[in-house]
Amino acid sequence: MGLKPEETIATYIATSLAVYTLGTNCFYGPVTPDPVEGCWVVPTGGPPPKRFIGETEQQKHYSFQIRTRSDKGDFDGALLNARNVSDTLHDAIHSGTFASYLDIVLLQSQPMFIGFDDYGRPQFSQNIEAHFKE
């Protein structure tokens, strides 16, 4: 099937929150120095796929870090964006948005401040696990 879970999650964030546009300030893949403000869905691994007895589909478990960053001096804006992303993913979990092919688990109750980047911009992260069926 070739699903890219990081692309699916980044697309959902970008279509759910007006502040983000996929490919402009919402990305999947490594965190880049530009743009100044943005959201990144960064794959961080996961265990090997499993196939259970009697099933033709294999279960794939992925882990991601959702990173948000705002302009230098805008700590409150960075925190607000991080909380909005977390709330959006939480809503998706409880609404069944991805129910047929994806199960998302938030690993923290709120985004974590992870410090300032080399340019003094505040950064937050939210770790998640995603379980896909292919």
Is the pTM higher than 0.85? yes
Which of helix, strand or coil describes residue 33?
A: coil
Tokens, residue 72: 């230098």
**How is domain 5-129 classified at the CATH fold level?**
STM4215-like (3.30.2000)
Every domain of the chain and the residues it spans: 5-129
Identify the DSSP state of 130: E
- The pLDDT profile of the chain, 134 residues, written as one tens digit per residue, is 456 889 989 999 999 999 999 999 999 999 999 999 999 999 998 878 877 777 777 777 889 999 999 999 999 999 999 999 999 998 888 787 766 667 888 899 999 999 999 999 999 999 999 887 65
Report the chain's C-alpha Rg in angstroms: 15
CA distance 49 to 36: 36
Q: Which residue has the tokens 């403000």?
A: 37
Sequence-separated (6 or more) residues with CB below 8 Å from residue 7: 28, 41
